[in-house]
Amino acid sequence: MKARGYQKLKEFIVTQHPLEATVSDFGEMVWDHNSQTVVVLSDTADEDYQVFWPLKRADVEFENFRARFIDDHKFQLPAVGNHPAHPDEYVTQIEVAAPVIQDYYELRVPIFYCPSWPYRGAANPDLAALFRLPKFVIDSHQQYQNGPVVVVDRFGGTEAATLCALTTLVQQLSRDQHVDVYMYVKLYQSKRPNVWPSRDDYMFLYRCFEALHHHLPVPHSANAPYFLQLATATQWLCWRRF
């Protein structure tokens, strides 16, 4: 699914974790779209979702290029508003290079590995903390503006779409001082029906912004308040028709 962002119609590509038989297709997709940021939410500790990027001293050959491992690092996820960073929350960045065979062009792709986000199985999830990964993606992707951000989850569905939506909406909040959750949900649903299959999945986005709202600075101008458009019964009924 190609998903809209705050500034571009095709800011994101949402896709499922590639299988062994589809790793080549995934690599070609990243190459064809000149994507220079990949975010992986699936957990490679699960044998069903194995590592698909090149490892040290183990290049991966594709039809037109060869992908090779460069380096990996761990970065602490940043603070959001007055919500502090947490020392145990980090993302692993795997740097991969893909030089064209018989050419001098090289595409460098940072892969940000943050498994199991958004941690919805936690007993008392800190929803405001979920915005640390979107902020990290926004800050990192500013260096790579040529292609869309590829977001990978287990099935190419709810988790990836949620990250895209929160990333987009937090930019809207920063620039416009409001968020329109319903509009972006409608746009995403039109691209992939039932990408948020339940009412709880949909309302989760509102709850995230409600939590974030308590950690934002109070605006100086009364004419530019931060606010949330609360979900109404009418909006829910309209969403059900997507």
The per-residue pLDDT for range 45-100, each reduced to its tens digit, is: 999 999 999 888 788 877 777 888 899 988 888 777 666 666 567 789 898 887 66
Helix axis angle for 233-240 and 181-191, nearest 10°, is: 10
CA distance 225 to 157: 33
Residue 168 neighbours by CB distance under 10 Å = 24
Count how many domains the chain has: 1
pLDDT band at 233 (very low <50, low <70, confident <90, very high): very low
Give me the percent of the chain exceeding a pLDDT of 90. Answer: 40
**Rg of the chain on CA atoms, in Å:** 18
Domain extent for 51: 2-240
Q: Which residues contact 211 (CB under 8 A, 6 or more apart)?
A: 126, 127, 128
pLDDT per residue as tens digits for the range 129-179:
899 999 998 888 776 667 899 999 999 999 999 999 999 999 998 888 888
The mean pLDDT of 218-234, rounded to a whole number, is 43
pLDDT per residue as tens digits for the range 166-220:
999 999 988 888 889 999 999 999 999 999 999 999 899 999 998 888 776 655 4
CA dist 72 to 96, 131, 210, Å?
9, 23, 35
CB 204 within 8 A of CB 197: no
Q: What is the pLDDT of residue 87?
A: 59
Is residue 225 pLDDT above 50, yes or no? Answer: no
CATH number at residue 213: 3.90.190.10
Which residue in the block uniquely carries the two structure tokens 């008392």? 124
Class of residue 119 by CB neighbours under 10 A (exposed 0-12, middle 13-18, buried 19+): middle
Per-residue DSSP letters for 126-167?
A: -GGGGGHHHHHHHHHHTT--SSPEEEEESSSSHHHHHHHHHH
Strand duo 106-113 + 37-40: pairing: parallel
Which residue in the block uniquely carries the two structure tokens 């993302």? 91
Q: What is the pLDDT of residue 39?
A: 96
Q: What is the pLDDT of residue 178?
A: 85
The dihedral of CA 231, 234, 237, 238: what is its sign? negative
Where is average pLDDT lowest: 20-24, 112-116, 172-176, 216-220? 216-220
In the numeric block, which tokens belong to residue 17? 């974790």
Is residue 232 pLDDT above 60, yes or no? Answer: no
Is residue 101 pLDDT above 70, yes or no? Answer: no
The mean pLDDT of 99-119, rounded to a whole number, is 79
Is residue 25 pLDDT above 60, yes or no? Answer: yes
Q: What is the pLDDT of residue 124?
A: 65
Q: What is the pLDDT of residue 148?
A: 93
Q: Report yes or no on whether pTM surpasses 0.75.
A: yes
